[in-house]
Structure 1
Amino acid sequence: MTPALSVLEKTFGYDAFRNQQAEIIDHVIAGGDALVLMPTGGGKSLCYQIPALVREGTGVVISPLIALMQDQVDALSAVGVRAAFLNSTQDVTERRRVEAAYVAGELDLLYLAPERLKIESTSELLNRGTIALFAIDEAHCVSQWGHDFRPDYLQLSVLHERWPSVPRIALTATATELTHQEISRRLELGEARHFVSSFDRPNIQYRIETKNQPLQQLLQLLRTEHPGDAGIVYCLSRASVEKTAQFLVEQGIPALPYHAGLDAAVRSRNQSRFLREDGIVMVATIAFGMGIDKPDVRFVAHLDLPKSVEGYYQETGRAGRDGLPSTAWLAYGLQDVVQQRRMIDQSEGDRAHRQRLGQHLDAMLALCETLQCRRVQLLAYFGETSTACGNCDTCLSPPEGWDGTVPAQKLLSTVVRLQRERNQRFGAGHLIDILLGKRTPRMTEQGHDSISTFGIGADLSEQEWRGVVRQLLAQGLLAVHGDGYGTLVITDESAAVLGGSRRVLLRREAERAVRGPKKSAIASDLPAEATGLFEKLREWRAATARDQGVPAYIVFGDATLRGIALSRPESVAELGGISGVGEKKLDAYGEQILEVVAAAG
């Protein structure tokens, strides 16, 4: 048995590496640099943790996740790894204790925030100890093309300059080829080996719905498909976070808000509850989530359109890290498209910056409006070829495509007539009223009931017209004017549609399946005789975690508890053969678990 495999088995409780893990780990142990692109839940952390345990010295991990360092250290300590962190949350005494342990060679892993490398004393400290490797986690933060750019990451080339003989491994879960290239260039990893795994997360079911009372849609998702499950709901604004969290609480669902406007102590407390308690729903802006290691997040819901496919993939990837069935659900509508276009037009930065934001949004809209498999489209964005998954909404309920050329011409003609004949611009609502022939006071006042397109769209409903407008915006056949009011104008591409030389294919939304209530996804496929034991094990785990003041998953993950419930071990040796049960946890919890199993009969 190799040293790496021995550590995997004895420390972490797994009997085999997955995918490219073994190759990456062997390369770094041998002193090589590596750039690793691997999906969330794919086992990235082991790719630097195991080399740090095998090589001489301390593995230094650069991570932007100050709020989560304690949980990461707790998880490592639980399996017998000597880990610590240095960040701004510590007092002088605690920092000195950690620094002394590092210099004395008593740490396997040391976590640092990137801004600490600006401090000369940090470099002096690192020089006083032995560095096994540098791991740069969330490496996409170095790229201005990425979705979560952090200026402090730009200085990380200093690692190669100051410690040229120390191997570096940079890791991220989301990177297009452009982001990949920029990470490589900025971190000077051109000579490193690049490992690119499949971005596919087959256990996640991707679903995108048209907005129609989104809070009620969300409530139905939680009540019928994820009762009692932990999950994350993303909203664009702080106000919508507060409103959504309050709505869920009023409906009897334990929900907490998280956004940058909350007091730091409240944010910390809410994050701690989400990590440590079962069944909490976190309603948050994108300020929440990077590096969340909670493996049993069963759903990620978006109530607003994400700004990029990279951001969407990163956020949905927080579901189902344990490999069990999970849901990525998004509700989006016309107003999302208008709002995002307007935000881009009004954003700071030069034309190239706005163009880049527009490209990100176009790719996100293409994913929302596709007639094809969502997963195929999503993976193609990251340069990966795949086949229809059979587990997304477009595979399970294929949407119908229809020729929307004539409706598009009617709508675009209305925009043209208002703009050219009257020098006026209006938003989607008024344009649709014209097409439907609604004689509102505003319509009569403006004299728009005399326009030639008035009433020519009565063959479609208001909701259908909103879908037409949304999809024309997505296809670049309509644009949001930069006046800040969300008014619509034609584009250069509109002329071909109006002239009849371009056909417009639109998506007709499939009827949303109404799903009946079901038990929690983590227990849904367990046989009846194992379900009771699984729930007893979860109760034991919750009590144990409370006593220790750590998140439940640090004791054992759901996947390991499922393995115990299915195999019903009768001895310590049998328990030790279950995936996720390493030596330290076997010593700490073995007898207690066997008692729970025996008591369940």
Structure 2
Amino acid sequence: MTPHEALKRYFGFSGFLDGQESVMDEIVSGRDGLVVMPTGGGKSLCYQLPALCFGGVTLVISPLIALMKDQVDALIARGIPATMINSTVPWAEQKERLDGMRDGTYKLVYVAPERFRAESFLNAVRGANVSLFAVDEAHCLSQWGHDFRPDYLRLGKALEKLGRPQCVALTATATPVVREDIVSVLKLREPFERVSGFSRPNLSLGITAVEKAAHKDERMRAVIAAHKTGIVYCATRKKVEAVSETLASWGVKCIAYHGGLSDSERERAQEVFIQRKADVAVATNAFGMGIDRADVRFVVHYEVPGSVEAYYQEAGRAGRDGEAAVCELLFNYADTRTQEFFIDGANPTPAIIRGIYQYLLNQADKEYEVHRTLDEIAEGADVKNPMSVGSALTVLARGGYIERFDIAGRRTRGTRLLKPDVLARGLQLDEASIGEKDRRDREKLKAMVEMCYARTCRQQWILGYFGEEDARTCGGCDVCRDGGAGESRPPTAEEAMIVKKALSGVARMSRRTPEGWEGRYGRGRIVQMLCGSRSQEILSAGLDKLSTYGLLKERGTGYLNGLMRALSDAGLLETEPGEYPVVSLTATGDRVMRGDVDYRLVWPAADDGPANPGLKDHGFDGGLYSMLRDLRMKIADKEGVPPYVIFGNKTLEAFVLYRPSSEEEALKISGVGVVKAQRYLKPFLDVIKTWKRGR
């Protein structure tokens, strides 16, 4: 069976989404690989379809029980033999499933990474014909990533013990550094690497500066009232409880979700949200990974996340149906203290690690075991940040000094000393690596704060952070909206034709009734269709067959998002409120489409290069651009941040075109805010001055 045949037979699709086919061709050819594909891009199919083509079983390593359950249930419903093995499955049933895996009963088996702690599990799996080892949410295995999980580090050794089957790693968010780490930890052999676009044009990203909790609540209430269904992310369990109580007092149907709840409580809360019995989930960052609820219309970050990766992954849980969604971050710099506390906890110093190890030596029984909770160890070892204990134990376990084990009948785990003769001062710790991880975690938070202060297109800034240098403006974020306002005017001949094409696209996706037009799709889907998207939503609905499909592809999603808003503001389009906000033509829009009436719009800016800031355009010079780019790289290397954090490519191009000679002139250029000007601008102005003098 080929991937095409499996796609049609089991999933009912006639074609692949953007980027899927080339990935599957590589996997079916037998190569190891790394796949970075945005949320909603179809990552799961990239290993599910090859699994159906291979003779053996595909092991899928997945971090969340709910994510496994959703995927296994969906596969079984399609007639695909699949199962899962995790802590919720009794050992007797696990054994039956392992037997079935060896007998060829299953094509896909989802496994939690912690299963690989047990040698007995590895021995049981060793007897199966593992044709593919798929590591989902692969960013979890990188200590440079935003969601590092130590159990993922066992996967490299597990691959060796299983005879090194073909391996593919998949994730939605990974910087170049994290991608390198994934390849290194898994020891992928001459891997292919596919990085699909990170752009989510249906998301309207916004950052609102707030001074007090009351201001946060006021803004959050407005977002919920406008969009009804969504997720509010909080940094701590305590804040989750407080915010959920506030929402309940407003009469909002909501659930609370955090790590302090039992497994059954978390599962129950998740089911309530997925089954649409609650409109809002208030949660810590664990909630949402792989959650299959497509109609999430908003994501609110009540506090600043610890990294751009975490922010964008969580924001990406909105609008998975391709329709327009709002993502709002309520920013108060004081909230960074919480993230700094988390960073401290995730990066204990060598002295703290040695102190915790000494406590374990002192408390161990004659079996060299310590049965203490993390809080008890923190108190006994006089560690101020209890999070440091778990992190220190991870370092000690990776060094082979201890192992953690489950205690029967208790939720807490025990610690066993493996080298009790080694004294605390004799621990061999990679202090350079410990310090480097701490530095990188702090740089991630610093980049997150930089993004909050930046006054460039939010999505463009984020895409630059992930390595997409030539990303276009999105047209939908708060910065684009603020910068796009201008005077209302009639269209030029070219603009009139663009509007007719856009309105025709809306008409083709609506129904004509005696009362007028009745919308069937939202703005996001309409923009996708006009841009010629190959997304699952477009193909499965047959929208690629419309005569207007791809009609405005050259304009880009950023411009079209802005245009759709302008058409709505001008009364040519209307949006029907509800769970799925659909767009239709108004009577005036119908007449404009037919050329029967004049109109005026506040036109969105075309995304065709740096906007003229009122300075003289001197023309582009490649030599000056190279000098500025080299300077940017030098500063970025010194500070340990991506070059785009300093200034984006479009800003460098504007420096070349307009050659500012002062801070006042430079501040007129998009991408140069007051904070960045104070921090980075002077050396760039000096290079421009030196270059001018040399001319």
Do they fold alike, i.e. is TM over 0.5? yes
Q: Which residue of 1 aligns with 2:440?
A: 356
Q: Which moved more, 1:262-271 or 1:311-320?
A: 262-271
Q: 2:320 and 2:234 mapped to 1: Cα distance?
A: 22
Q: Which residue of 2 aligns with 1:219?
A: 221
Q: Which moved more, 1:333-342 or 1:14-23?
A: 333-342
Q: 2:122 and 2:31 mapped to 1: Cα distance?
A: 22
Q: Which residue of 2 aligns with 1:68?
A: 67
User: For each residue in 1:340-359, what CA deviation from the matched residue of structure 2 results, as whole angstroms up to 9, or x when unmatched?
Assistant: 45665787434544422221
User: For each residue in 1:449-471, what CA deviation from the matched residue of structure 2 results, as whole angstroms up to 9, or x when unmatched?
Assistant: xxxxxxxxxxxxxxxxxxxxxxx
Q: 1:355 and 1:34 mapped to 2: Cα distance?
A: 29
User: For each residue in 1:137-183, what CA deviation from the matched residue of structure 2 results, as whole angstroms up to 9, or x when unmatched?
Assistant: 11111111101111111111124423445211100111111111111
The equivalent position to 2:449 in structure 1, one of 360, 365, 373, is 365
Q: Which residue of 1 aligns with 2:138?
A: 139
Q: 1:186 and 1:342 mapped to 2: Cα distance?
A: 28
The answer on whether the counterparts of 2:295 and 2:319 sit within 8 Å (CA) in structure 1 is yes
Q: Which residue of 1 aligns with 2:479?
A: 394
Aligned length, in residue pairs: 418
Question: Cα distance, 1:395 vs. partner?
Answer: 0.5
Q: Which residue of 2 aligns with 1:85?
A: 84
- Written as runs of structure 1 = structure 2, the 5 A alignment for 1:277-426 is 277=276, 280-337=279-336, 339-341=338-340, 344=343, 348-350=347-349, 351-385=435-469, 386-398=471-483
- Structure 2 unmatched runs, 5+: 350-434, 486-508, 522-535, 546-695
Letter in 1 for 2:74: A
User: Is the partner of 1:397 in helix, strand or coil?
Assistant: helix
Q: 2:512 and 2:311 mapped to 1: Cα distance?
A: 36
Letter in 1 for 2:483: P
The answer on whether the counterparts of 1:273 and 1:280 sit within 8 Å (CA) in structure 2 is no
Q: Which moved more, 1:19-28 or 1:306-315?
A: 19-28
Structure 1 residues 360, 165: CA separation in 2 closer, same or farther (over 3 Å shift)?
Answer: closer
The answer on whether the counterparts of 1:533 and 1:565 sit within 8 Å (CA) in structure 2 is no
The answer on whether the counterparts of 1:59 and 1:131 sit within 8 Å (CA) in structure 2 is yes
Structure 1 residues 190, 363: CA separation in 2 closer, same or farther (over 3 Å shift)?
Answer: farther
The answer on whether the counterparts of 1:35 and 1:192 sit within 8 Å (CA) in structure 2 is yes
User: For each residue in 1:112-140, what CA deviation from the matched residue of structure 2 results, as whole angstroms up to 9, or x when unmatched?
Assistant: 11121222232232232222211001111
Structure 1 residues 531, 127: CA separation in 2 closer, same or farther (over 3 Å shift)?
Answer: farther
1:16 aligns with 2:15: yes
User: Is the partner of 1:398 in helix, strand or coil?
Assistant: helix
User: For each residue in 1:441-488, what CA deviation from the matched residue of structure 2 results, as whole angstroms up to 9, or x when unmatched?
Assistant: xxxxxxxxxxxxxxxxxxxxxxxxxxxxxxxxxxxxxxxxxxxxxxxx
Q: 1:92 and 1:345 mapped to 2: Cα distance?
A: 37
**Greater RCO structure (CA 8 Å; 6+ sep):** 1
Q: Which residue of 1 aligns with 2:110?
A: 111
The answer on whether the counterparts of 2:57 and 2:130 sit within 8 Å (CA) in structure 1 is yes
Q: Which moved more, 1:344-353 or 1:102-111?
A: 344-353
- Written as runs of structure 1 = structure 2, the 5 A alignment for 1:101-180 is 101-164=100-163, 166-180=165-179
Q: 2:30 and 2:346 mapped to 1: Cα distance?
A: 44
Letter in 2 for 1:252: G
Q: Which residue of 1 aligns with 2:203?
A: 204
Q: 2:6 and 2:540 mapped to 1: Cα distance?
A: 23
Q: 2:512 and 2:252 mapped to 1: Cα distance?
A: 26
Q: 1:190 and 1:131 mapped to 2: Cα distance?
A: 17
1:194 aligns with 2:193: yes
Q: Which moved more, 1:57-66 or 1:279-288?
A: 279-288
User: For each residue in 1:539-575, what CA deviation from the matched residue of structure 2 results, as whole angstroms up to 9, or x when unmatched?
Assistant: xxxxxxxxxxxxxxxxxxx9599949999xxxxxxxx
Q: 2:141 and 2:274 mapped to 1: Cα distance?
A: 27
The answer on whether the counterparts of 2:115 and 2:121 sit within 8 Å (CA) in structure 1 is yes
Question: Cα distance, 1:328 vs. partner?
Answer: 1.4
Q: 2:130 and 2:174 mapped to 1: Cα distance?
A: 28
- Written as runs of structure 1 = structure 2, the 5 A alignment for 1:576-591 is none
The answer on whether the counterparts of 1:205 and 1:328 sit within 8 Å (CA) in structure 2 is yes
Letter in 1 for 2:170: L
User: For each residue in 1:53-111, what CA deviation from the matched residue of structure 2 results, as whole angstroms up to 9, or x when unmatched?
Assistant: 11111111011112332222111112111110111111234223322321221111001
User: For each residue in 1:378-415, what CA deviation from the matched residue of structure 2 results, as whole angstroms up to 9, or x when unmatched?
Assistant: 00110112011111111011399xxxxxxxxxxxxxxx
Q: 1:559 and 1:253 mapped to 2: Cα distance?
A: 30
The answer on whether the counterparts of 1:137 and 1:172 sit within 8 Å (CA) in structure 2 is yes
Q: 1:278 and 1:79 mapped to 2: Cα distance?
A: 26
Structure 1 residues 29, 93: CA separation in 2 closer, same or farther (over 3 Å shift)?
Answer: same
Question: Cα distance, 1:222 vs. partner?
Answer: 1.2
The answer on whether the counterparts of 1:41 and 1:320 sit within 8 Å (CA) in structure 2 is no
Question: Cα distance, 1:219 vs. partner?
Answer: 1.0
Letter in 1 for 2:283: A
Q: CA RMSD in A?
A: 3.0
Question: Cα distance, 1:278 vs. partner?
Answer: 5.5
Structure 1 residues 159, 21: CA separation in 2 closer, same or farther (over 3 Å shift)?
Answer: farther
User: Is the partner of 1:289 in helix, strand or coil?
Assistant: coil
User: Is the partner of 2:326 in helix, strand or coil?
Assistant: strand
Letter in 1 for 2:181: E
Letter in 2 for 1:369: Y
Letter in 1 for 2:443: Q
Structure 1 residues 528, 282: CA separation in 2 closer, same or farther (over 3 Å shift)?
Answer: farther
Q: Compute the TM-score of the two structures, normalised by the length of structure 2.
A: 0.56
Q: Which residue of 2 aligns with 1:483?
A: none
- Structure 1 unmatched runs, 5+: 401-524, 535-557, 568-601
Q: 1:150 and 1:339 mapped to 2: Cα distance?
A: 20
